[in-house]
Amino acid sequence: MQLKIAQVIGKPDLAPAAWVRRLVTLCDRAPATPFDTVQLVLEKELGRSVGEIFENFEEEPLGSASIAQVHRARLKGDKSDVVVKVQHPGVKELMTDIRNLQAFALYMQKTDIKFDLYSVTKEMEKQIGYEFDFMREANAMERIRRFLYENNKKSPVLVPRVLKDMVTRRVLVMECIDGIPILNLGDEIAKRGINPGSKIAATAKQNILKSLTLAYGQMILKSGFFHADPHPGNILICKGSEVALLDYGQVKDLPDSLRLGYANLVLAMADNDPIKASESYRELGIVTQSKCENELQELLKLAQTMFDTKLPPGVAMLQPFSEDSSIKKISVQAFPEELFSVLRTVHLLRGLSVGLGINFSCAEQWRPIAEEALYLAGRLKDLKTRARKRRLFRRLLRRE
């Protein structure tokens, strides 16, 4: 459970850089299961010996996280390089940890933290429970891969192919995608003799972030089914600056009511519209209470703190519980459990953008996607400007 918490707080917008570097390394450096145990699991799950399936199998894992570890291998026959994900024995003990965290959340809600933390931990319990089933993960990976490739001339991110005849609840074999971890991007740029502060480096980082957030905007707002764990350990930068998105253990399938309600909130944030933001809170089932002046403006600021990646001007690190924070001024008394995955995903994307040195608004990038989602659902009643109409119809025509 400590590793899960490290993923949440180990972000450049919430913690100092030195902390982030240390916390991120924890995410794929959990104690590894010995290879003889891994071999027993593989042979039991796949029904054949390791030597019958693989020409080569690296005993040292590429990484080990809280639920599983991954090994590089080469198949016999077509000699494809693959990644083999193997579940640690005894990982279901994590569910005891999450129940302890729920008790702590109930205690914290009695303090100055005016947020429905218990609902957040209930959603965490549900999501972590899903991670124990690799067959579910394989299906999610294929569903997202198909959606992104069908909705774009070129998918904004690479998604590994699953080897469908080598998937069980505890073992998952997939295509190997080579790349460097996103947090090593600065070092890689410097190795190539490029000034990390140069315009070339900034453009490369912006394009990488744009590809990643475009994929998330499409998944969340158009499909509702999305990868919900974009921490740095799950993102690789590949040849040609392509972005690979790994690990589909945590995915979320939003009901249309929340998907479209969130689309309305995206428009409110992008347009800086406090009245629309307040209406979106009600639609989403977010219940707030406040006695502060300028309540509508504070509700908009709270929405942007929770659901946008852009930091306020002059702010390098969020301090969500400082006295002048919207979270301290407005009590969030009820927060839909299912919306937590969206909140967490946006916060992880914000951490990535700050880590890359880019102050970037996903709400502004997602505005046309939100408009399209609402229009197709018959929910976009106020195409206020000709520019907005033209932008939407251009998007729709491109799809035909």
pLDDT tens, position by position, 181-221: 998 898 888 898 988 889 999 999 999 999 999 999 999 99
Q: In a 3-state reduction of DSSP, which class is residue 307?
A: helix
Closest C-alpha to 3, from 316, 185, 249? 249
pLDDT of residue 65: 87
Q: What is the chain's mean pLDDT, rounded?
A: 85
Q: What is the largest CA-CA distance in the chain?
A: 70
| CA nearest neighbour of 229 among 297, 336, 144 | 144
Of the candidates 136, 131, 108, the residue with the CA atom closest to the CA atom of residue 120? 108
Q: Mind spelling out the 3-state secondary structure of 150-202?
A: HCCCCCCCECCCEEEEEECCCEEEEECCCCEEHHHHHHHHHHCCCCCCCHHHH
pLDDT of residue 320: 57
Element (H, E) at 81: strand 81-87
Q: What pLDDT is stored for residue 77 in this prediction?
A: 87
pLDDT per residue over 219-271, tens digit each? 999 999 999 999 898 999 999 899 999 999 999 999 999 999 999 999 999 99
For residue 379, the model assigns a pLDDT of 87
Domain boundaries, the chain: 254-399
**pTM value surpassing 0.75:** yes
Is the Cβ–Cβ distance between 262 and 234 less than 8 Å?
Answer: no
Distances (CA, A) of 212 to 144, 152, 261, 349: 14, 13, 22, 9
Determine contact, residues 269/277, Cβ cutoff 8 Å: yes
Which pLDDT score, from 0 to 100, does residue 29 have?
65
pLDDT at 225: 98
Model pLDDT, residue 324: 64
Residues of the chain with pLDDT under 70: 1-29, 92-102, 104-116, 118-120, 122-127, 129, 313-328, 381-400
| Residue-level pLDDT at 14 | 42
- CB burial readout 344-359, b (16+ within 10 A) else e: bbbbbbbbbbbbbebb
Q: Is 120 helix (H, G, I), strand (E, B) or coil?
A: helix
Q: How far apart are CA 85 and CA 64, in angstroms?
A: 10
Structure tokens at 294: 């300028």
Q: Give the phi and the psi of residue 243 in degrees, each rounded to 5.
A: -110, 130
Selection from 187, 194, 200, 205 nearest residue 359 by Cα: 205
Coil, strand or helix: which one is 4? helix
Distances (CA, A) of 62 to 30, 32, 285: 11, 10, 42
Structure tokens at 107: 């205690």
CA-nearest of 3, 33, 1 to 233 is 3
